[in-house]
């Protein structure tokens, strides 16, 4: 009994024809995974920015200039670094374009809004078709086509934090 006999095998035509289909699925999965990673990283970065602003901001008018000029810019720099704006490979993988941090201080709450603008992934074989012919006036299809081929999108995270509740050091009455 011979283990390896000379039998005619399956033609490689099916394999060669299915390879581009598998590549298309891999590209879609990688892009979807990239958006999920970006969303999770934004949640973490939003919590960091809100909590740091809560703990290091000031209530006096004189020191609020320091909050706007130094603290907000430092938080923005750290968040950009964490999200991957300073890494060319990560910036290209996640299609990052711009980051916007907006901090609104009210009497009881501070609202920290992180907005990341992304470029369109521009998958060439999807974008070569006419969008009106492809979507036939379906609004969700038109929005998806606009995200994939024309303008990209934006992801926004909003965090609310209370006033600065640091415990003041205990001061004895006689001192």
Helices (H), the chain: 13-56, 61-66, 72-83, 88-93, 124-127, 131-135, 139-145
Q: What is the pTM of this model?
A: 0.73
Instruction: List the domain boundaries for the chain.
Output: 16-161
In order along its 175 residues, the chain shows pLDDT tens digits of 566 565 565 556 777 778 888 888 888 788 888 888 999 999 999 999 999 988 888 777 777 778 888 999 999 999 999 999 999 988 988 889 999 999 988 877 889 999 999 998 767 777 888 888 888 878 888 888 888 888 888 999 999 988 766 555 555 556 5
Angstrom distance (rounded) from CA 170 to CA 153:
50
- Going by C-beta distance under 8 Å and a sequence separation of 6 or more, which residues neighbour residue 1? none
Question: Would you mind telling me the total number of residues written for the chain in this entry?
Answer: 175
**Residue 102: strand pairing partners:** 113
- Going by C-beta distance under 8 Å and a sequence separation of 6 or more, which residues neighbour residue 96? 38, 83, 84, 85, 90, 116, 117, 118, 119
């Amino acid at each position: 009994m011979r283990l390896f006999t000379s039998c005619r095998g399956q033609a490689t035509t099916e394999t060669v024809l299915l390879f581009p289909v598998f590549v298309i699925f891999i590209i879609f999965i990688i892009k979807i995974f990239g958006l999920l990673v970006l969303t999770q990283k934004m949640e973490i970065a939003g919590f960091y920015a809100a909590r740091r602003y809560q703990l290091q901001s000031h209530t006096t008018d004189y020191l609020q200039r320091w909050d706007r000029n130094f603290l907000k810019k430092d938080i923005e720099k750290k968040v950009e670094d964490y999200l991957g704006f300073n890494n060319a490979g990560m910036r290209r993988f996640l299609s990052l374009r711009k980051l916007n941090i907006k901090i609104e201080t009210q009497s009881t709450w501070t609202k920290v809004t992180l907005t990341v603008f992304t470029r369109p992934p521009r998958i060439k074989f999807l974008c070569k078709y006419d969008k009106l012919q492809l979507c036939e006036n379906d609004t969700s299809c038109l929005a998806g086509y606009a995200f994939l081929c024309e303008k990209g999108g934006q992801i926004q995270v909003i965090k609310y934090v209370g006033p600065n509740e640091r415990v003041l050091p205990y001061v004895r009455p006689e001192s």
